[in-house]
């Protein structure tokens, strides 16, 4: 922040998953690790950056929910583009899904949607918090759940192109929305 100042875009991205197990077989420590990363990590980023961004709230604060894998890197590249537009963006990415054997992960992502919608109501005019569901992306995390069938889903680079176009067209009117790329 010393070099570029307060960011206009925050890609609020946290994603870890439990080993495939029924909820009653997931060790407490593993459940806690998923919640600590996926929910508390997102909340900590919001608590740190929103106060810094409030004085700049001119157009848009986007909260989108991404898992901590490859798709986030192209989104960071969008920071330079949006930085020149006087917009404020925060991205938190989540997934509207219920997947067998990863209940802690699913619970954490649903929590992020609720958190994002609540934050949207707390923000001043000119800022927006938007929950962004990336859809199903072929990542190592997906492979841990779906095995070889994960390769049937879109690659992170294909997703990033679609997401960038969508994100750069969002406005303050989208505040509180839950959108899917």
Sheet hosting strand 178-180, strand order edge to edge? 9-11, 89-93, 130-133, 178-180
The span from the CA of 60 to the CA of 65, in Å, is 16
The span from the CA of 147 to the CA of 140, in Å, is 9
Active site residue 153: no
Tokens standing for residue 126: 């000119």
- In 69-119 the beta strands, taken as DSSP E runs, fall at 89-93
Return the exposure string of 146-176: e unless at least 16 CB atoms fall within 10 Å of the residue's CB, then b: eeeebeebbebeebbeebbeebeebebebbb
Tokens standing for residue 80: 């330079």
Q: What three-state secondary structure class fits 9?
A: strand
Please tell me which residue in 105, 123, 129, 131 is annotated as part of the active site.
Answer: 105
Residues labelled catalytic = 105
């Amino acid at each position: 922040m010393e070099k570029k100042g307060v960011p206009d875009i925050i890609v609020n991205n946290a994603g870890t998953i439990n080993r495939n197990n029924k909820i009653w077989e997931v060790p407490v420590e593993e459940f806690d690790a998923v919640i600590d990363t996926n929910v508390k990590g997102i909340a900590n980023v919001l608590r740190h950056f929103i106060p810094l961004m409030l004085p700049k709230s001119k157009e848009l604060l986007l909260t989108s929910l991404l898992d901590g894998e490859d798709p986030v890197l192209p989104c960071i590249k969008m920071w330079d583009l949006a930085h020149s537009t006087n917009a404020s963006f925060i991205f938190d990415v989540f997934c509207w899904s219920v997947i067998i054997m990863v209940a802690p992960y699913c619970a954490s992502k649903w929590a992020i949607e609720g958190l994002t919608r609540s934050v949207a109501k707390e923000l001043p005019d000119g800022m927006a918090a938007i929950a962004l569901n990336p859809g199903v992306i072929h990542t190592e995390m997906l492979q841990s759940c779906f095995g070889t069938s994960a390769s049937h889903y879109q690659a992170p680079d294909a997703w990033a192109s679609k997401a960038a176009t969508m994100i750069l067209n969002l406005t303050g009117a989208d505040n509180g929305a839950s959108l899917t790329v």
